[in-house]
Amino acid sequence: EDKVVQSPLSLVVHEGDTVTLNCSYEVTNFRSLLWYKQEKKAPTFLFMLTSSGIEKKSGRLSSILDKKELFSILNITATQTGDSAVYLCAVTNSGTYKYIFGTGTRLKVLA
């Protein structure tokens, strides 16, 4: 059965800290891994990774995929209170239209 596990479940940090969120997966015929940020509304897309070892970066956020060890990390440097959200990881496989989501990591950044 395809599965996505995120850790930690929740995290509290102070502004300026750096955080690393983890996503491990088991999926047949892996196609891609996606990261989303969800505040009190719709999840918004952050990154899609398909190739191992290539870092995707957007401002203070970056992510990398390790297809051999079946995991991805999302790094946020110099955190701000606006980074407080649930971060979701999802994977897709080549055989279906489905996106398999993890349960998310809830990040709270204190001023």
Residues found near another protein in the complex (CB under 8 A): 31-32, 34, 36, 41-45, 48, 88, 90, 92-93, 96-99, 101-104
Maximum distance among all Cα pairs of the chain, rounded to whole angstroms: 45
Closer of 1 and 69 to another protein (Cβ) = 1
Nearest to 38 by CA among 111, 99, 102, 110: 102
HSE-up of 71 (CA within 13 Å, CB side)? Answer: 11
Closer of 48 and 73 to another protein (Cβ) = 48
- Shortest spacing between CB 85 and another protein, in angstroms: 14
- Shortest spacing between CB 83 and another protein, in angstroms: 19
Closer of 18 and 29 to another protein (Cβ) = 29
Question: What's the DSSP call for residue 59?
Answer: T
Q: Name, in order, each residue with C-beta under 8 angstroms of 1's C-beta and a sequence gap of 6 or more.
A: 26
- Shortest spacing between CB 13 and another protein, in angstroms: 21
> How far is the C-alpha of 9 from the C-alpha of 86, rounded, in Å?
9
- Shortest spacing between CB 36 and another protein, in angstroms: 8
